[in-house]
A and B are shown apart, each in its own frame.
Chain A
């Protein structure tokens, strides 16, 4: 098996080609979104809603923000700014969009990351457990449970979790990212405080995703177990457990890594609703607020950033898959 560097290079080149074309497609969509946003009824920013502000004043503001230039010119300026790393100025928060993104992106990544960990951890555990007991009563029970959990709408699950575990039983905080005097706590307690606030929102996103992952893990593992190299390992007398772990799971990690990357898109979609329900200060909520306030620069930047996360996630997943796929490794 000459799984040589040449093979690796070919694969990497293919990956890069995929990434470039995906970026191209994203740029096209972003352009379309830019122009579509202008179809949004209403003027940007709430200032235009106040009847006491005279027309000349509104016109002056429009000029200052460049909103009265022809649309193609606005687009070119925006694109130029983006190339320089300047995402423009938020019309509702009155500060650079880049700053807002820098503040909110880590919070969303934190939430998505926690949800992803929960998804993978719980999903792997349940999936493997189900595979080990394929077709038993427990397996069927887990299947029904999985389908149930995975069908639950995340925003509703978040709301119910909040009602049950933050309101009825005050075990967790009803929203926000940290407690009032979090600043005065030491580092250790601050981390715990963060985890405590993270628990419910991450569960709302992660548990349904974990159920879906568990199904996928189960079928992947079972599939691998049917393959010749596993059979031969069994025939060589290795214990079932060892076979499961060293061969089947390792082989199955590649598609699982791919799943992780793809999950990112679903997770990020899920975060908007959860961030709004729990008041989590992340990109989803900022983008939603921007939509409500017709804050175009922030809206565009938020959408672009989310798409970038997703692309990065799937690219990463592809890389991982390549690295983990035993067919590309030396024997």
Chain B
């Protein structure tokens, strides 16, 4: 920066080259700026976002994890829209019974939580729960049957308008027998009575009843400021868009749980940063890792991957209002043309299974006889030829009656795996002479288009719940404005689904469900694609992490660090 020589600046006219103050100022400014940054960096050790606790075993045990979504509220009746909120509320509040994730072989069992036992009346229309006597709220007030009754009133209140209030439709009354005994009265006996009664967290009447139901929706933030909980953890801190901190609830009825003192969830909407922070040692766990990252993490010795089943499956829905998708044999040919195993291998690197049914294979009611249709492009070509499709003009696409077999295949742009699948499916279909054009659409626009049947074929997915109710997807009544996007109609399937819903026990519904699956397999209203697993990446010294298809954090109270004694 030596002045003089070649510079012909206006200042040089009559004076020696300027050792200008501005130049010094400039230097000072720059120095200050970098100094500030550098100093801050040095002060923090320049070594990444490391939680101190893991360096000092003497302190209470902490685990730090990441989440993409933020908590959307603390009151389940107002904010149960995202999975993460449900996961956290599961740790904060108690339910009467806790549904177990053991439904691979049989309908789910229930473990005692707030209720230690229950019994039925002879006509199976009254269900009595016996509550444990040592359960208290985090402010010390005992949890009683009054809380249970009041919670039910809130759940069915039209002013609060809980989204799942219809689950309680068959319950006529919840009766307080004594402070630790409560009885549910049903209008009739049916299969999922227990599930319906138990659904929903028990809320603190003594505090939250201060707000009349009509004002609940407007005062959702009040509940956050007046939060009392009953579960193994309590909500220590919640900084929206930044972090959610759970701490051990000293008043929880089981003194051995939780084993961790504190669990921190950092809100990071970018999944890529989760992996970064894991690898850098700043995080102890991150659920929702992609299969690609999973493969990378699995090779490290300080981290491990825990893969677990989900209740989800992805599919292609064919719009039966548009020819030729109205012909079940053509739909079959389409499925035969798609190499689903290759999709699974490429996109999921082994962390998924090919799907064959709307009831995923890890659920008891899945038809074990069902095999996914094979990948057989030759057979597909034969079927198309039989149906009158041929490539008359040699352009690579088959036509029938002058109309080429070309359509638009859509999916939501936010799902990278589905988006990549579109391209692979396009390529596979091209080989049998079908021209599919991929198009990704923003999720809301896509749902709107699908519900209005304004699509040719769409790739999407469902998460099935344990009631195994398939009506919203395959019943003919769900076609108008419902989620039967493809307008599938089959009178027998309608009948079977209605009968399954009315069955007195889940096992009694099994024959109908099996038959339904077989019909759907034959008619292929969906081409069933895959059942993805979910992946949690966990630090090697974080033990007993057992996520399952109910929640990734199902057994969070049992998680522990190897260094601590139990």
Touch A–B, Cβ below 8 Å? yes
A residues engaging B (CB < 8 A)?
Answer: 40-43, 45-47, 49-57, 60-61, 64-65, 89, 92-96, 99-100, 103-104, 118, 121-122, 124-126, 128-129, 131-138, 166-167, 170-181, 183-184, 189, 192-193, 195-196, 199, 222, 225-226, 234, 239-245, 249, 276-277, 279, 281, 285-286, 289, 294
Structural contact, A133 and B9, CB atoms closer than 8 A: yes
With A42-B444, A245-B22 known as contacts, the answer to whether A174 contacts B220 (CB < 8 A) is no
Instruction: Name the one of B14, B18, B444, B472 contacting A244, with C-beta atoms under 8 angstroms.
Output: B18
Determine the chain B residues whose CB is within 8 A of the CB of A46 once the complex forms.
Answer: 81-82
Contact A279 B273 (CB under 8 A): yes
Contact of A225 among B10, B242, B445 (CB under 8 A): B10
* 5 A–B contacts from the bound complex (CB under 8 Å): A40-B444, A42-B448, A133-B3, A170-B48, A175-B270
The answer, among A61, A95, A276, for a CB contact under 8 Å with B163, is A61
Q: Which A residues touch B165, using CB under 8 A? A: 57
B166 at the interface (CB under 8 A from A): yes
- Is there an interface contact between B9 and A94, defined as CB atoms closer than 8 Å? no
Q: What chain A residues lie within 8 Å of B442 (beta carbons)? A: 41
Which chain A positions have C-beta within 8 A of B539?
A: none
Expressed in whole angstroms, the minimum distance between the Cβ of B515 and any Cβ of chain A is 23
B29-37, B374-382, B399-407: which lies at the interface: B29-37
- Enumerate the 9 nearest inter-chain pairs by beta-carbon distance, A residue then B residue, closest first: A42-B444, A125-B26, A281-B241, A240-B11, A241-B20, A95-B221, A94-B220, A136-B7, A41-B445
Is A94 a contact of B78 with CB atoms below 8 Å?
Answer: yes
Q: Does B322 contact A (CB under 8 A)?
A: no
Q: Is B60 an interface residue (CB 8 A)?
A: no
Residues of B within 8 A of A104 (CB): 241
CA distance A22 to B15 in the complex (A): 48
Are the CB atoms of B217 and A294 closer together than 8 Å? Answer: no
Closest to B75 in A: A94
Task: Name the residue of chain A whose CB is nearest to the CB of B32.
Answer: A121
Q: How far does the Cβ of A151 sit from chain B's closest Cβ, in whole Å? A: 22
How far apart are the CA atoms of A37 and B79 in the complex, in Å?
Answer: 23
Which chain A positions have C-beta within 8 A of B218? 89
A49 to B, closest residue via Cβ: B447
| Chain A residue at smallest Cβ distance from B53 | A181
* Residue of B whose beta carbon sits closest to that of A286: B241
Which residue of chain A lies nearest to B269 when distances are taken between CB atoms in the complex?
Answer: A279
Please state if B7 and A52 are interface contacts (CB–CB under 8 Å): no
Q: Which residues on A sit within 8 Å (CB–CB) of B220? A: 89, 94-95
Query: What residues of chain A lie closer than 8 Å to B473, measured between beta carbons?
Result: 51
Tell me the minimal C-beta distance from A252 to chain B in angstroms: 11
Given contacts A184-B52, A196-B43, could you give 19 more A-B pairs where the C-beta distance is less than 8 Å?
A47-B81, A52-B469, A61-B161, A64-B161, A95-B221, A96-B221, A122-B29, A128-B25, A132-B23, A133-B3, A174-B280, A176-B49, A178-B242, A195-B40, A234-B15, A240-B11, A244-B11, A244-B22, A294-B444
What residues of A have a CB within 8 angstroms of the CB of B172 in the complex? none
Q: How far is the CB of A243 from chain B (nearest CB, A)?
A: 8
Interface string of B49-64 (1 = CB under 8 A from A): 1011100000000001
In the complex, how many angstroms separate the beta carbon of B182 from the nearest chain A beta carbon? 26
Size of chain B's interface in residues, with CB distance under 8 A? 92
A192, B44: Cα distance in complex, Å: 8
In angstroms, Cα B379 to Cα A306, docked, is 60
Set of chain B residues within 8 Å of A294, measured between Cβ atoms: 444
Q: Are A171 and B41 closer than 8 Å at their CB atoms?
A: yes
Complex-state Cα separation, A211 to B397, whole angstroms: 54
Using CB atoms, name the residue of chain B closest to A166. B276
Whether the pair B22, A249 counts as a contact (CB closer than 8 A) is yes
In the complex, A250→B107 CA distance in Å?
Answer: 80
A325–chain B nearest beta-carbon distance, Å: 21
Q: What's the minimum C-beta distance from B281 to chain A, rounded to whole angstroms?
A: 9
Complex Cα distance A183/B236, Å?
A: 12
Least CB distance, B462 to chain A, in whole angstroms: 7
User: B267 contacts which chain A residues (CB < 8 A)?
Assistant: 279
**Cβ-defined partner of B49 (8 Å) among A41, A124, A125, A180:** A180
Q: Is the CB of A57 within 8 A of B447?
A: no
Kindly state whether residue B1 has any CB partner on chain A within 8 Å.
yes
A196 contact from B10, B19, B40, B269, Cβ within 8 A = B40
Say yes or no: is B256 at the interface (Cβ < 8 Å to chain A). no
| Residues from chain B with Cβ under 8 Å of A173 in the complex | 48-49, 282
Closest A residue to B268 using CB positions: A279
Evaluate contact between B29 and A125: CB separation under 8 angstroms: yes
**Counting CB contacts under 8 A, is B481 at the interface?**
yes
For residue B482, CB closer than 8 A to chain A, the reply is yes
Give a binary string over B470-506; 1 marks a CB under 8 Å from any A CB, 0 the rest.
0011000000011100000000000000000000000
- Nearest Cβ in chain B — how far from A199, in angstroms? 5
**Shortest Cβ distance from A310 into chain B, in angstroms?**
23
| B240 interface contact, C-beta 8 A | yes
Instruction: Give the residues in chain A near B273, CB-CB below 8 Å.
Output: 174-175, 279
CB of B447 within 8 A of CB of A42, answer yes
- Shortest C-beta distance, A133 to chain B (Å), equals 5
CB atoms of B37 and A285 under 8 A apart = no
Chain A CB within 8 A of B371 CB: no
Chain A residues with CB under 8 Å of B51's CB are 180-181
Residue B226, interface by CB 8 Å: no
When the two chains form their complex, are residues A132 and B18 in contact, meaning their CB atoms are under 8 A apart?
Answer: yes
Which residues of chain A are within 8 angstroms of B266 by Cβ–Cβ distance? 176, 180
- B465 contacts the other chain (CB 8 A): yes
Q: CB within 8 Å of A: which of B155-169?
A: 158-159, 161, 163-166
In the complex, the answer to whether A133 meets B22 with C-beta atoms within 8 Å is no
Given A40-B444, A46-B81, are A174 and B18 neighbors across the interface (CB < 8 Å)?
Answer: no
CB of B386 within 8 Å of the partner chain: no
Is B549 among interface residues, defined by CB-CB distance under 8 A? no
Chain B nearest Cβ from A214, distance in angstroms: 10
Q: Which residues on B sit within 8 Å (CB–CB) of A43?
A: 444
Q: How far is the CA of A178 from the CA of B442 in the complex (A)?
A: 32
B161 pairs with A132, CB closer than 8 A: no
- The residues of B that contact A199 with a CB separation of less than 8 Å are 37, 40-41
B72 within 8 A of A: yes
Q: Does B210 belong to the interface (CB within 8 Å)?
A: no
Contact A60 B18 (CB under 8 A): no
* B277: Cβ under 8 A from any A Cβ: yes
Q: Bound state CA distance, A205 and B117, in angstroms?
A: 60
The reply to whether B241 and A183 form a contact with Cβ atoms under 8 Å apart is no
Task: Say whether, besides A125-B29, A276-B269, A180 and B276 are in contact (CB < 8 Å).
Answer: no
Q: Which of B192-242 contact A (CB under 8 A)?
A: 217-218, 220-221, 224, 237, 239-242
- Identify B33's interface contact among A121, A128, A176, CB under 8 A: A121
**What is the CB-to-nearest-CB distance from B489 to chain A, in angstroms, rounded to a whole number?**
18
Q: How far is the CB of A203 from chain B (nearest CB, A)?
A: 8
Q: Return the contact of A92 from the options B9, B30, B72 (Cβ within 8 A).
A: B72
Q: How far is the CA of A242 from the CA of B11 in the complex (A)?
A: 11
